Amino acid sequence: MTGPHLVIVGGGFAGLTVARDLRHAPIKITLIDRSNHHLFQPLLYQVATAGLSPANIATPIRAILSGQKNVEIMMTEVTGVDTKNHLVLTQDRAIQYTQLVLATGSTYHFFGHDHWEPYTRGLKTLVDATAIRRKILLSFEKAEVETNPARKKFLLTFVLVGGGPTGVEMAGSIAELAHQALKSDFHHIDPKMLRIVLIEAGDRILATFPESLALRATQRLQAMGVEIQTCTRVQDINAEGVRWGDTRIDANTVIWTAGVVASPAGKWLGAQLDPLGRVRVNPDLTLPGHPEIFVIGDTACVHQDEKPLPGVAPVAMQQGTYVAKVIIRRLRGKLKPRPFRYLNKGNLATVGRSFAIADLGSFRIAGAFAWLTWLVVHIYYLIGFKNRLLVLIEWAWAYFTFQRGARLIPEGENSKNTD
């Protein structure tokens, strides 16, 4: 196909939405990603806690776009952008574009303490999730045969740094895994030995939720045995655990859920960035001075009602749909649409079995009905009928049997931070 060439960098929610919404557009599209799959990140914590297998929440990008004739897919690492000559630079070639969408996501943010990284693990990729799963499961295996009480306690202590939705969901899932799914499988581990600590720098967990719902989630976690430390800033993380002030927790497993920073895309562009490295964009999500370049998803800093939009999947998908509409209007010679505006359909977070919180605007609920709502929403947004069916079966099995099927520890699996 000759004519306009759109290059999309990033196969996450934002980039994939742009490509799919342009399936009938008369434009050549090249989608570039360093992975060959689209990852449903909201369920990544369930892979990390053995609730789901990696293949349940990841789908090859080529399979998703296989019927779309105007798309070519490249699996490679982007190293920069030449805005003057309209080139996307990769490890081995330069790709010409007429329009460019950067949707490159985010990575971990250690707030100036990058030396902590060898001793903890974030949760952004399948490699992260399977490494955390391996760490958790090996901790139980080692604790089962450990005769030293202090060492056993060390192995059975899990610390999560960051009380946002990911930290809360991870803490609840670890507690559920330990107290239910593994309780009958290990004969020399008393569930009372288990210690799960959730650390939050703010004055409460789930700061993006109404305080009443955050309180319900706090009460639920505490009932599951999770210790919650608020107003607590971690000062050190090393091989022995976590420290703040005069307090130290010896822990074999430390999971980082405290924050993220944007990808290097802003530096490629030489753009104006916010403190988290996100590109400050125009109201139509274009780069100032470059109407041919769109920046969306976690890579973009977009303010609405004087507040920055959160880096969540619904924002990314709505931005992707908006950009696709702008591109279609350009192809048809029409004026650009109104500035992008995010329609917040609500926030959801689950806390273990049969309990979730839901902030749906004026409608706020906590408990089993919110949990069912959470299930339906996540099944709906999964890509592919097969994944939806498999996840539904896994959840049903876990609900009725209290067992989790993805508890294998493959030999040779990425072993960073597992010993």
- Reported as type and span, the H/E element at residue 349 is strand 347-350
Name the CA radius of gyration of the chain, rounded. 22
Closest CA to 80 of 29, 28, 17, 9: 9
Across 1-91, where does the E strand assignment appear? Answer: 5-9, 28-33, 37-39, 58-60, 71-75, 78-82, 87-90
**Phi, then psi, of 87 in degrees rounded to 5:** -125, 135
Structural tokens at position 135: 């760490």
Cα(227)–Cα(220) distance, rounded to whole angstroms? 11
Cα(270)–Cα(272) distance, rounded to whole angstroms? 7
- Reported as type and span, the H/E element at residue 64 is helix 61-64
Closest CA to 232 of 242, 214, 244, 218: 244
Beta bridge partner(s), residue 197? 159, 227
- How buried is 35 (Cβ within 10 angstroms: 0-12 exposed, 13-18 middle, 19+ buried)? middle
Q: 394 an active-site residue?
A: no
Structural tokens at position 383: 């890509």
Strand order in the sheet with 71-75: 71-75, 28-33, 5-9, 99-102, 290-295, 286-287
What are the residues whose beta carbons fall under 8 Å from the beta carbon of 120, sequence distance 6 or more? 161, 237, 254, 255, 256, 417
Query: Among 146, 169, 200, 394, which one carries the catalytic annotation?
Result: 169
Structural tokens at position 98: 């007429």
**Alpha carbon 182 to chain centroid distance?**
26
Across 172-321, where does the E strand assignment appear? Answer: 195-199, 226-229, 236-238, 241-244, 247-250, 253-256, 260-262, 279-280, 286-287, 290-295, 300-301, 303-304, 307-308
Q: Please list the active-site residues.
A: 169
